[in-house]
C-alpha cells in the first residue's frame, strides 16, 4: 500500500466525511473515493461504513488508522533526516487545526516573498498533540495553542482569542448572548485520548474534571456536539456549520496562539520565520 493512499485514508477517518476530507486534501471527491475503495480491496476488508451523513470506522478501519498514523509519522522523520543530510533549504511547520486562520494565509504570503527558494512542509496535527509533532522531531516549528508542557521548548505568544461554548443551535443556552462555565456544569464535555498533555486537556475542559466522548480532531468535536449535545469550545470568530452556535464564555481564559520551537535551535531560517509570524499575527 502506498503512503499517499494511507494519507488519504487518515484524512477520511479523521474527518468522518468524504467531502471534508477531499477539501482538506485539496482534491475532488471521486478520486478520493476510488482510492479508498482500492485500499479496501487490497486489504480484503471494509474500512468504513458509509451513510448519507458521513462515515464511521469499522474495527479493521480503526486498527489501520492507528497503524497508518504511526507509519506516516515515521515517513516524515525519514524525509526530514534525508533532507537535512542533503543540505536543502527546508522548514517543516506543524499547524494545529487552524489552517484556515486568515493570519496563516497572510503569513504564508509574506514568508514566500521573503524566502522564495525555501521548501515549506506542512504537518496538520490532530488535537492530541498540542506541539504538532515538535517533541517527536517531526517539525521544526509549530503554530499551535497554549497551554501545554513547555519543558525544553521556547514559546512565543502571537495572539489571544476569546473562547465560546459550541452548542447545538436549538439548545436553549444557544439563545443567550454570553455564558459562564457554571452554566455548563451539568453537561458532558469532550475528552482527548489517554496520555494527552494534562494542561491542554484541563484548559479545553474549563479547568474542571469532566466526562464525555473521546475525540482526536475538530470535526469529531463538532459531531459530538451535534449528535450528543456535548459541550465543545472554540475560539470566537471561527466558522461553524449552520446547525451549531458559539456563545462567548465570559469567565474562560483566552486561547493563546503561539509559535513554539525547540530550545537552542538558532537556525537563521527559523529565526526569520518567528520574526515574520510575530509581525503578521500582531499587525
Mean pLDDT value of segment 191-201: 92
End residue of a domain, out of 73, 88, 103: 88
Give the CATH number of the domain where residue 112 resides. Answer: 3.40.190.10
Residue with cell 502506498: 2
Q: pTM here?
A: 0.70
Check whether residue 277 and residue 234 sit in a common domain: no
pLDDT per position as a tens digit, 171-183: 999 999 999 999 9
Give the CATH number of the domain where residue 60 resides. Answer: 1.10.10.10
pLDDT at 164: 96
End residue of a domain, out of 69, 88, 107: 88
Q: Domain total for the chain?
A: 3
Check whether residue 244 and residue 266 sit in a common domain: no
User: Mean pLDDT score of the chain, rounded to an integer?
Assistant: 89
Check whether residue 236 and residue 120 sit in a common domain: no
Question: The sheet that has 141-146: what strands, in order across it?
Answer: 119-125, 90-96, 141-146, 255-262, 153-161
End residue of a domain, out of 88, 108, 141: 88
Check whether residue 171 and residue 238 sit in a common domain: yes
Check whether residue 71 and residue 2 sit in a common domain: yes
Check whether residue 101 and residue 150 sit in a common domain: yes
Check whether residue 196 and residue 146 sit in a common domain: no
Check whether residue 82 and residue 93 sit in a common domain: no
Check whether residue 172 and residue 229 sit in a common domain: yes
pLDDT at 96: 87
Check whether residue 75 and residue 141 sit in a common domain: no
Give the Cα separation of 89 and 197 in Å (integer): 32
Give the CATH number of the domain where residue 240 resides. Answer: 3.40.190.290
The winner for highest mean pLDDT among 12-21, 164-173, 225-234 is: 164-173
The winner for highest mean pLDDT among 109-113, 116-120, 217-221 is: 109-113
The boundaries of the domain holding residue 209 are: 163-253
Local structure of residue 28 (DSSP, 8 states) = -
Check whether residue 278 and residue 233 sit in a common domain: no
Which uninterrupted H or E stretch holds 220? Answer: helix 218-228
Check whether residue 148 and residue 261 sit in a common domain: yes
| DSSP-derived 3-state class of residue 242 | coil
- Report how far apart, in Å, the C-alpha atoms of 110 and of each of 14, 277, 281 are: 30, 9, 12
pLDDT per position as a tens digit, 133-167: 998 889 999 999 999 999 999 999 999 999 999 99
Amino acid at each position: 500500500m502506498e503512503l499517499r493512499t494511507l494519507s488519504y485514508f487518515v484524512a477520511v477517518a479523521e474527518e468522518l466525511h468524504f467531502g471534508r476530507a477531499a477539501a482538506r486534501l485539496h482534491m475532488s471527491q471521486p478520486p478520493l473515493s476510488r482510492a479508498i475503495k482500492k485500499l479496501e480491496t487490497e486489504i480484503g476488508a471494509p474500512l468504513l461504513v458509509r451513510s448519507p451523513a458521513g462515515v464511521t470506522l469499522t474495527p479493521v478501519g480503526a486498527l489501520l488508522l492507528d497503524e497508518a498514523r504511526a507509519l506516516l509519522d515515521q515517513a516524515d522523520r525519514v524525509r526530514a533526516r534525508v533532507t537535512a543530510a542533503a543540505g536543502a533549504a527546508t522548514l517543516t511547520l506543524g499547524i494545529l487545526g487552524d489552517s484556515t486562520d486568515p493570519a496563516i494565509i497572510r503569513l504564508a504570503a509574506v514568508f514566500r516573498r521573503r524566502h522564495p527558494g525555501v521548501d515549506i512542509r506542512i504537518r496538520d496535527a490532530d488535537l492530541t498533540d498540542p506541539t504538532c509533532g515538535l517533541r517527536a522531531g517531526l517539525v521544526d516549528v509549530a503554530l499551535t495553542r497554549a497551554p501545554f508542557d513547555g519543558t525544553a521548548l521556547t514559546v512565543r505568544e502571537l495572539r489571544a482569542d476569546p473562547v465560546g461554548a459550541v452548542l447545538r443551535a436549538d439548545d436553549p443556552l444557544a439563545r443567550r448572548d454570553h455564558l459562564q462555565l457554571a452554566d455548563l456544569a451539568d453537561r458532558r464535555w469532550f475528552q482527548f485520548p489517554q496520555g494527552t498533555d494534562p494542561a491542554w486537556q484541563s484548559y479545553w475542559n474549563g479547568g474542571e474534571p469532566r466526562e464525555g466522548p473521546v475525540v482526536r480532531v475538530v470535526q469529531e468535536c463538532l459531531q459530538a456536539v451535534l449528535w450528543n449535545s456535548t459541550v465543545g469550545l472554540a475560539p470566537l470568530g471561527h466558522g461553524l456549520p449552520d446547525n451549531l452556535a458559539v456563545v462567548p464564555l465570559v469567565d474562560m481564559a483566552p486561547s493563546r496562539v503561539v509559535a513554539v520551537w525547540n530550545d537552542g535551535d538558532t537556525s537563521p531560517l527559523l529565526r526569520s520565520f518567528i520574526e515574520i509570524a510575530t509581525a503578521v499575527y500582531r499587525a
